[in-house]
Chains A and B, each alone.
Chain A
Amino acid sequence: MTDMTAVVETEGLTKFYGKRRGLEDLTLAIQPGEVFGYLGPNGAGKTTTIRLLLDVIRPTSGRMSVLGADPRDPKVRARIGYLPGELELEGKEKARDYLTFLADVRGGVSRGRIDELAERLEADLSVAMGKLSKGNKQKVGLIQAFMHDPELLILDEPTSGLDPLVQQEFLAMVREVRTTGRTVLMSSHVLAEVEHVSDRVGIVRAGRLVAVEDVAALRERAVRKVEFHFDAPVPREAFEGLPGLRDLVVEGASVRCTIDGRPDPLIKAAAKFTTVHMVSAEPDLEEIFLTYYSDEERHHAHAHA
């Protein structure tokens, strides 16, 4: 790979646990300022990838660089914020004391910064960590990952255990990180959890990266169900034959249809009439993504046959 600017770069990265495959031949580059969603079912290899990038485990073969250096270099790790997939916090130590310890080792974080994050996520830091609920442990994990404003955030299933409101707050925090030009790699089981903040998503399955897609491009390809209600009946001809339009139903003053890709032609056609009410269902990216990569896999299977 010749791209020297990538924040995370791997080439043929492979990890076997004895005979068990964890990850095989991962070649990936994540660019500065990008939010990368790393998706896959249970046991796909997400945590394996992330632990390799943080030098918790060592690759069987292949190479990687993180922020331009080998992750074995401890100085690099000061510039990373990491949330483990199976975060363990235990004992009588108070969450605040633990956060202070982590901050000290990373070169210091103002007390105000920790308080600010705790307030945003509604985390109580005065409780012994062993007594925190799963979601509250996850909040402590998020605070420590974000608190030193790292250049790169590596988050393994960050939303697990969080209630919907806190999830929204977390996504807002990720957006802010992107706004400041920093980079995020986050894993999840479902696209819906990450699609609103991710620039690109990668799918890993059975240890192999099977697809990497641009979220904006996916969205352009997405299928959307749309409904218009006008103040007077409309002619069917006004909508018929529009590019990407399918399943057109015109009943008096209402129009229902499905549109592939950009809704622009439909909007322009509808603009000739007076719209009273409009419904547009959220495009199901997951669905097209899944078809996309299962096709891809079938392709692979054929190629190897």
Chain B
Amino acid sequence: MPTLTLKTLKEYRRAIIGWTVGMCAFLGMYISIYASMKDSPDILSRSALAKYPGALRDLMGGMLDIGTGVGYLQAIAYQMLGPLLLVMCAAILGNRAIAAPEQSGTLELTLTLPIDRKQLVLQRWVGLFLGLLTIAVITLLVILAAQSGAGMGVPVGHVLAAHTGLFLVALFFGTVALAVGAAVGRRQTALTVVGVWAVAGYVVETLGRNADWISWARWLSPFHYFLDGRPLYAGWPVGDYLVLAGATAVLLLTAVLAFDRRDVGV
């Protein structure tokens, strides 16, 4: 592994552990609630519907089937909170790749090492990729174990497909943060871009499903390529995932080229 990637992972270690533990606790807790209530799905769906009226329900993906195993898993892990948490984590890690060390001043010495600037961005990104992958794999294993324990009955292949989409969305937004940081070197700018794009993108994708006046914008939302194909129900939306992966690659290339051209730390 390149030295700088290893170093990046060391810097991320605490965050990776923290987010993994937090997300696993969150998912484990909600799946255990399902286990205790699955014999009375009516109560489950009635209480859920009462809690989320109208548009909120649309944001949560409809929740009509919250009483079923697959509907419940979709609602807690893959609809809103799961992506939201992992995207936040990705944005923070992506910011710590370039913008944060540049603003604190620690990037200057790294930059004067015998590492090409393009390599610097790439090796940092590989660190981000591996960090997010670690969180994704561990949460996947927890979900698989918990859902089979709770008898949710979702095919393993579908969980794997949905989780891959979740990972791709997070990686995309992490790469956005890294790329904005590489281009302008401001962590606040990077966080704002990710925040606005993620929230607007999510709203457009979920509410836009039932509102024509914003549905045209759905293709701009990264969540569209994750949620629209309903991977937890239908398996791999290969084309959509390729769009996400391709967009991430384009962003990474932009980051590499932008960082190679500019003054650092000014």
B-binding residues in A (CB < 8 A): 17, 51, 54-58, 74-78, 80, 82, 84, 86-91, 93, 101-102, 104-107, 144
Assess whether A90 is in contact with B106, with CB atoms less than 8 Å apart.
Answer: yes
Stretch in B86-94, B110-118, B213-221 touching the partner: B110-118
Assess whether A105 is in contact with B263, with CB atoms less than 8 Å apart.
Answer: no
User: B50 an interface residue at 8 Å Cβ cutoff?
Assistant: no
User: B22 an interface residue at 8 Å Cβ cutoff?
Assistant: no
Chain B nearest Cβ from A152, distance in angstroms: 12
Q: Which residues of A contact B111 (CB under 8 A)?
A: 54-56
Chain A nearest Cβ from B57, distance in angstroms: 44
What's the Cα separation between A56 and B265 when bound, in Å?
A: 8
What's the Cα separation between A53 and B97 when bound, in Å?
A: 24
What's the Cα separation between A56 and B105 when bound, in Å?
A: 12
Chain B nearest Cβ from A41, distance in angstroms: 21
Q: Which residues of B contact A101 (CB under 8 A)?
A: 3, 7
User: B81 an interface residue at 8 Å Cβ cutoff?
Assistant: no
What's the Cα separation between A77 and B113 when bound, in Å?
A: 6
Given contacts A86-B108, A101-B7, A102-B113, 11 further A-B contacts (CB under 8 A): A54-B112, A55-B112, A56-B263, A56-B265, A77-B112, A77-B113, A84-B109, A88-B108, A93-B10, A104-B3, A105-B113
Return the chain B residue nearest A48 by Cβ. B266
What's the Cα separation between A56 and B110 when bound, in Å?
A: 10
What's the Cα separation between A78 and B3 when bound, in Å?
A: 15
Chain B nearest Cβ from A290, distance in angstroms: 31
What's the Cα separation between A76 and B112 when bound, in Å?
A: 10
User: B122 an interface residue at 8 Å Cβ cutoff?
Assistant: no
Per-residue A-contact encoding for B1-32, CB less than 8 Å = 1, 0 else: 00110010011000000000000000000000
What's the Cα separation between A301 and B262 when bound, in Å?
A: 35
Which secondary structure characterizes the binding site on chain A? loop
Assess whether A91 is in contact with B11, with CB atoms less than 8 Å apart.
Answer: yes
Return the chain B residue nearest A76 by Cβ. B114
Assess whether B109 is in contact with A106, with CB atoms less than 8 Å apart.
Answer: no
| Given A90-B106, A101-B3; A74-B264 close (CB under 8 Å) | no
Assess whether A80 is in contact with B105, with CB atoms less than 8 Å apart.
Answer: no
Q: Which residues of B contact A76 (CB under 8 A)?
A: 114
Q: Which residues of A contact B47 (CB under 8 A)?
A: none
Q: Which residues of A contact B7 (CB under 8 A)?
A: 101
Q: Which residues of A contact B261 (CB under 8 A)?
A: 58
What's the Cα separation between A86 and B115 when bound, in Å?
A: 21
What's the Cα separation between A107 and B116 when bound, in Å?
A: 15
Per-residue A-contact encoding for B134-164, CB less than 8 Å = 1, 0 else: 0000000000000000000000000000000
A80, A88, A91: the one contacting B112 at CB < 8 Å is A80
User: B36 an interface residue at 8 Å Cβ cutoff?
Assistant: no
Chain A nearest Cβ from B258, distance in angstroms: 13
Q: Which residues of B contact A56 (CB under 8 A)?
A: 108, 111-112, 263-265
Interface pairs A-B: 5 shortest CB-CB? A88-B105, A78-B114, A57-B263, A74-B114, A105-B113
B7, B10, B114, B264 — which one has the most chain A CB atoms within 10 A of its CB? B114
Assess whether B3 is in contact with A82, with CB atoms less than 8 Å apart.
Answer: no
What's the Cα separation between A99 and B261 when bound, in Å?
A: 28
What's the Cα separation between A55 and B265 when bound, in Å?
A: 12
Q: Which residues of A contact B114 (CB under 8 A)?
A: 74-78, 105-107
